[in-house]
Amino acid sequence: MTDIRPYPLSNLHEASGDHHDALSALLDDDTMYRITSLIDRESFPATGLPSGTWAGARMLEVGAGAGSVAQKMRYLVGETGRVVALDLHPAIEPDGNLDVVRLDLLSDEPLPEGPFHLIHARLTLGHLPPRKAITARLAERLAPGGWLCLEDFRARREHIAVSGEGADVVEEFQRTVGRKVFDAHGTDPGWAPSIHGVLTGLGLTNVDTKTFSSYWGGGNAGARFLTAIHAQTYDKVLAAGMAKERLDRVPEIMADPATLIHGHEVFSVVGQRA
């Protein structure tokens, strides 16, 4: 088991629930559209599943967090399918066709036994330095014809503020937390655009990259996500040099309807095992 955790957030933090709720509201619709759209691909029959449905599939959700995506997967696979939710500190309970596994991806512990028809990881591998090796391990767990879907932020570090009094404060926070907290703890800001090449390099076929993004207005899901990040990294950002009086203003600014900032762009990349 690895003793040092490079990732500066934890499901055990009191703001974790707000963090996961905001991410679910912000990203789940796009994620599930991406997953369900795979059944329309000409190559989908290679999974061996009934055409046009995920019913009966085995799915693995990596970095499941509070389990919003894993719960939605349950309905896709139905009673004859199985979903495995994996996390270092799972905030979800096993139920019916849902299994929950606690596992440290930085350790040598084996991944859950496959094969899986779909493996999905969102905002997870970009924070873990051996991300390419972990991706290779995940690909090995795919069933023939199975899909690997990796989604990660290409995080903005500059030119974030759009409008609103105090938006420059939010921009300073984003820049500081990105560079001096996340990047300093092992996050690779260039991971998301590189995923396509990693999947092709592993020999996966039908590799496809799509992106989606939005503006985050005061009080909306993106703003709530940023506020939860603020709560979880406050001490680290303060230690990194951001003035306390400015740092303390971030939640109020992000609750102001007049605030508008550029949200992070999400890269959604899929590849299929031959």
CATH number of the domain at 243, please.
3.40.50.150
The conformation of residue 86, written as its DSSP 8-state character, comes to: E
Q: What is the pLDDT of residues 110-132, one digit of tens each?
A: 999 999 999 999 999 999 999 99
- Measured distance between the N- and C-terminal CA atoms of the chain, rounded to whole angstroms: 33
Q: Which residues of 192-211 are buried (b: 16+ CB within 10 A; e: fewer)?
A: bebbbebbeebebebbbbee
Q: Is 89 helix (H, G, I), strand (E, B) or coil?
A: coil
Cα–Cα distance for residue pair 21/95, rounded to 1 Å: 20
pLDDT: which is higher, 258 or 58: 58
Specify the pTM.
0.94
Cα–Cα distance for residue pair 274/252, rounded to 1 Å: 51
- Residue 10 maps to a domain: no
Neighbours of 109 (CB within 10 A): 12
Numbers of helices and strands, H then E, in the chain? 8, 10
In this prediction, residues 164-192 reach a mean pLDDT of 90
| Residue 22, φ and ψ in degrees, nearest 5 | -65, -45
Q: Which residues of 75-86 are buried (b: 16+ CB within 10 A; e: fewer)?
A: ebbeeebbbbbb
- Residue 173 maps to a domain: yes
% of residues, the chain, pLDDT over 70: 96
CA dihedral 156, 174, 103, 57 (to 10 degrees): -40
Domain enclosing residue 220, as ranges: 16-272
> Which H helix or E strand runs over 247?
helix 244-247
Q: Is 105 helix (H, G, I), strand (E, B) or coil?
A: coil
Cα–Cα distance for residue pair 112/99, rounded to 1 Å: 10
Q: What is the pLDDT of residues 214-234, one digit of tens each?
A: 999 999 999 999 999 999 999
Classify the C-alpha dihedral 10-14-20-26 as positive or negative: negative
- Residue 229 maps to a domain: yes
E strand map for the chain: 58-62, 82-87, 98-102, 116-122, 142-154, 161-163, 205-212, 215-217, 260-262, 265-272
In this prediction, residues 173-183 reach a mean pLDDT of 93
Q: What is the pLDDT of residues 143-167, one digit of tens each?
A: 999 999 999 999 876 667 777 778 8
Number of domains in the chain: 1
SS3 content of the chain, % helix, strand, coil (to 5): 40, 25, 35
Report the mean per-residue pLDDT for the chain.
Answer: 93
pLDDT at 2: 40
Cα–Cα distance for residue pair 114/60, rounded to 1 Å: 9
Q: In which residue are the tokens 């799972």 written?
A: 90
- Residue 231 maps to a domain: yes
Strand order across the 161-163 sheet: 161-163, 260-262, 215-217
- Residue 6 maps to a domain: no
% of residues, the chain, pLDDT over 90: 83
